[in-house]
Each structure stands twice: as C-alpha cells, then as structure tokens.
C-alpha cells in the first residue's frame, strides 16, 4: 500500500482502538535516558525525536508472556543515536526479536538539532552502551 494512503489515515478508518500508555521500545530507551543520561522529558532543553524504527521477528513470544528488553547503541552521532533493542522471553537466552530505534536530539523550542549536538550528559550516558560492531 502506498505511503501516501497510509499517511492520510484517520482514527475513524479503524474499527477498534485501545488506549495504551507506552510501547516497549520507547520504554526501555526512555527509562535508560532518564536514569543514566539526566533526561527529564517534561523540562529538558533537548528532546529526542524518533525518526526511524523497525523490528525483525525471529521467534514467537506468546501472549501474555513477559519479556526482557536489552539495549545497546550501534551508532552515536553528534545529535543522533541508533539503538538496538533485543527482545527476550524471561528466562531464555535466545533473542526473539531485534528492533532498531533512531533518536535525533533537538532543541525543545526550535525542534532543530543544536549546533553543538546533544548535551554532554546525554552523550556520556549513551557512550556506556556503544558497541564496537553491530549485528544489524
């Protein structure tokens, strides 16, 4: 289906909706940013805009299983970061799915990347998750 058609969808185009607070990839990334990178979403000068996300599924996780999410950084740029999220069924070592999530950190007001890039606190915290070689 053409992207233009999908982009023009409205709420009424769907027959069922469910109020849902967060998504798992958002949750693992934002929890790390808040706990380890001094990010405070309501007031931080910089905010992360999601510019890309996708997920490859390798094995099923049956509803309503509980999963563990593992986080690494495959690329850290001046204002952007590419995360990899591994999805594991609790108690198992084999990855069930691997997702990619890209943030571009921008000034809260202008919604443009800052000339000096992301804040030092963000960069320092994210550097701890950087891996040498990506498996994606």
- Which CATH number belongs to the domain containing residue 93 in this structure? 3.10.129.10
**Full 3-state SS string of 34-95:** HHHCCCCCCCCCEEEEEEEEEEEECCCCCCCCCEEEEEEEEEECCCEEEEEEEEEECCCCCE
The average pLDDT across 118-122 equals 95
Is 7 among the domain residues? no
pLDDT band at residue 3 under the 50/70/90 scheme? confident
User: Residue 64 has which token pair?
Assistant: 């309503």
Residue 11, pLDDT > 90, answer no
Alpha-carbon dihedral 132, 123, 51, 41, rounded to 10 degrees: 140
Number of domains in the chain: 1
Domain that holds residue 57: 23-127
Is 14 among the domain residues? no
Is 120 among the domain residues? yes
pLDDT at 128: 97
pLDDT digit string, tens, across residues 65-115:
889 999 999 999 999 999 999 999 988 899 999 999 999 999 999 999 999
């Amino acid at each position: 289906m053409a992207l233009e058609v999908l982009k023009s969808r409205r709420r009424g185009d769907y027959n069922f909706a469910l109020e849902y607070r967060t998504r798992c990839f958002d949750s693992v990334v934002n929890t790390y940013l808040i706990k380890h990178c001094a990010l405070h979403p309501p007031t931080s000068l910089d905010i992360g805009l999601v510019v890309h996300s996708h997920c490859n599924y390798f094995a099923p996780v049956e509803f309503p299983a509980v999963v563990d999410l593992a986080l690494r950084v495959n690329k850290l740029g001046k204002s952007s970061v590419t995360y990899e999220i591994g999805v594991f069924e609790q108690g198992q070592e084999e990855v069930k799915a691997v997702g990619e999530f890209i943030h571009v950190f921008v000034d809260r007001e202008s919604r443009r990347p800052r000339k000096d890039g992301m804040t030092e606190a963000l960069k320092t915290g994210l550097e701890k998750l950087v891996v040498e070689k990506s498996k994606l």
